[in-house]
Amino acid sequence: MSKPVTLPRWIDILLIPLLNLLTAFVVSGLVIAALGENPFFALSVMIKGAFYYPGSLGYTLYYTTNFMFTGLAVALAFHARLFNIGGEGQAYIGGLGVAVFCLSLDHYLYSWIVVILAIFGASIFGATWALIPGYLQAKRGSHIVITTIMFNFIAASLMVYLLVNVIIEPGQMSPETRDFKNGVGLLQIHKALNFFGIPSTATPLNLSFLIAILASIFVWLLIWHTKLGYDIRTLGNSETAAEYAGINVPRTIMIVMCISGALAGLVAVNEILGVHNRLLLGFTAGYGFTGIAVALMGRNHPIGIFLASLLFGTLYQGGAELDFEFSTITREMVLMIQGLIILFSGALAYMYNPIVEKILINLIGKVKD
């Protein structure tokens, strides 16, 4: 009987996800063909809609930014073996943090100071919202999955109450605050490009994309190049080993959840500061839940999360073009494609591992990591 084979890292991180993604697209193509449409033409329409048409790349990267924040939040918790499903609620409360600072200070301080404080406000409010489930897990033994799901509903209800009864703009029918004053908001990328003489179509892409890149670098440094990151990975491998190693497990759990919540809260920076310039209901739009699939597909690594976020951004933007181009391919069909990607990248993530192992055994006998 042959010994189990340890797959090289490049196969586990790159090849297996690509096979899962290809399988999802093949199945989706078969469904599209069954509807009487050409799947290859549909794929070309989706790619053009995401990258080729004027402004399409900006929209794709705008969606990518949100997925990067929530994917990083989920991945960081995963490394400590914590399943943070509360990214949606943490992002929502992060929006409240942005609104508190902007609505309170936009009349008194320079806009750039208010923007910096609002970014910290989004992180602090998101971290605080995640700290409570972290504390309940660390000190009271409550399951992190249950508490984070519950806190999503609490956050949604709290925001409805506040926007309807407390911070709504007087005389306004829709539940949203007043616009932020004195130019408070993040610089949009197309305005910066036009300023430097580079013609660019107006899109919602803004400087929060650069913040997402910096957040990815931060997570990479934190997890693999700091003592706290070592503690997090040790806890994720074995809580018992972490305790024997002298790691303060409850403290580490709460710190991880705080940082995870802060990352999720940054979604509000992209949406509220970068696009809407006011707080409104439903701005999270499911980004927190999609971040779970992004983290799974990206193998909890910042580079993989960026690529997975770009893929889902492509599906969001290119899917809208599919819906416009084909009468038979509706928005629900695009959601089905996303669901297939989640299925093969999440629930069936290791489906191809035995096949790849057998091929490697036949080719080279034994593979060393």
pLDDT (tens, 9 = 90+) of the chain, 369 residues, equals 445 556 677 777 778 888 888 888 898 889 889 888 899 998 899 999 999 988 999 999 999 999 999 999 999 999 999 999 999 999 999 999 999 999 999 988 999 999 999 999 999 999 999 999 999 999 998 999 999 999 999 999 999 999 999 999 888 888 999 999 888 999 999 999 998 888 889 999 999 999 999 999 999 999 999 999 999 999 999 999 999 999 999 999 999 999 999 999 999 999 999 999 999 999 998 999 999 989 988 889 999 999 999 999 998 898 888 888 888 887 788 788 878 877 877 667 777 878 877 787 777 655 455
Q: Is residue 101 part of a domain?
A: yes
Q: Is residue 186 part of a domain?
A: yes
177: phi > 0 → left, psi -120 to 50 → alpha, else beta; which?
beta
Q: Is residue 252 part of a domain?
A: yes
Q: How many CA atoms lie within 13 A of 352 on its CB side?
A: 22
Cβ 65 vs Cβ 212: under 8 Å: yes
Q: Is residue 209 part of a domain?
A: yes
Q: Is residue 55 part of a domain?
A: no
Domain that includes residue 241, residue range: 64-294
Q: Distance (Å, rounded) from C-alpha 158 to C-alpha 167?
A: 12
**What is the distance in angstroms between the CA of the first residue and the CA of the last residue of the chain?**
20
Q: Is residue 357 part of a domain?
A: no
- The sign one gets for the Cα dihedral 350, 369, 296, 50 is negative
Cβ 313 vs Cβ 63: under 8 Å: yes
Q: Tokens 């994309």 sit at which residue?
A: 209
- CA-based nearest residue to 232, from 82, 119, 342, 367: 82
Q: Is residue 261 part of a domain?
A: yes
Q: What does the angle CA 34 – CA 39 – CA 44 come to, to the nearest 5 degrees?
A: 160
pLDDT of residue 9: 73
Q: Distance (Å, rounded) from C-alpha 289 to C-alpha 298?
A: 15
pLDDT of residue 4: 52
Q: Is residue 222 part of a domain?
A: yes
Q: Distance (Å, rounded) from C-alpha 56 to C-alpha 317?
A: 7
Instruction: Provide φ and ψ at 18, rounded to 5°.
Output: -65, -40
What total of structural domains would you count in the chain? 1
Cβ 185 vs Cβ 274: under 8 Å: yes
